[in-house]
Homo-oligomer: A and B are copies of this chain.
Amino acid sequence: MNFGVYLPPQCEDTKLPVIYWLSGLTCSEANFIQKAGAQRYASENGVIIVNPDTSPRGLSIPGDSESWDFGVAAGFYLNATQKPWSDNYQMYSYITSELIQLVNKNFPVLEGKQSIMGHSMGGHGALISALKNPGLYKSVSGFAPISNPSKCPWGEKAFNGYLGSREKANWFEWDATELVKNYNGPPLEIFIDQGSGDKFYIEKQLLPENLVEACKNAHVPAIFKLREGYDHSYFYIATFIEEHIKYHVKHLTN
């Protein structure tokens, strides 16, 4: 598994908190590194950023490269239960456990001082990772997150393939809008960022309003920022990444 690590200059003298970034469909770890422009703000704010790949690679499982929204680069940050995916597509365990241990062991991080954010499928991954592990992350945010995957075509396809049919599997364990209903842990604020001109938002792949509504009903505080005219691209991310980094650093240094 590849992942990127940005170490700001402050690391030479001191340990720093970490923000994990989870990327969206079709991405490797390279997209965020090259296109988000996050390094400057991580440096200014004294935080490490770790950004993993979006799926296992190189397995040549039949069907893993036939579509861009399932298999390679589309791991959906869950633990697959269906063969042949269940052997390797264990992205949830990788992100919330193995990767954190690896990073803590090898880089100058303040253990336990970590937050998580992501884009699209990675926003979904950030949300479920935070909601399923109360206290593990100090804060969570998503750029155009897939907020209610049980009810959108991307999520239905992925969950059906990785978890099995809706009737037999508990899809709700991997759906932020469902998980927030039963959230029980330290106070957690859900920061959802969304461009109003985002094609996939308009096509109802993302459904952030469902998550906001669920937060309201569950008395979980939510911030929903709808950015007029912005699309789903890394240009949108680059525009607001500074705001997200500052948001997380505020929570990490409290």
Contact = CB atoms under 8 A, between A and B. Distances in A.
A40 interface: yes
A234 B40 CA distance: 13
Contacts of A235: 39
A35 B30 CA distance: 11
Interface in A6-43: 34-35, 37, 39-40
A239 interface: yes
Interface string A197-239: 0000000000000000000000000000000000000110011
A37 B32 CA distance: 12
- The number of times this chain is found in the oligomer is 2
Nearest to A242: B40
A238 B37 contact: yes
Contacts of A238: 37, 39-40
A184 B37 CA distance: 40
Which of A35, A37, A235, A239 has the most C-beta atoms of chain B within 10 angstroms of its own C-beta? A37
Contacts of A35: 34-35
Contact of A34 (B34, B39, B40, B239): B34
12 contacts: A34-B34, A34-B35, A34-B234, A35-B35, A37-B37, A37-B40, A37-B238, A39-B235, A39-B238, A39-B239, A40-B238, A40-B239
Which 8 pairs of residues, A with B, have the shortest CB-CB distance? A37-B37, A34-B35, A37-B238, A35-B35, A39-B235, A34-B34, A34-B234, A40-B239
Interface in A23-75: 34-35, 37, 39-40
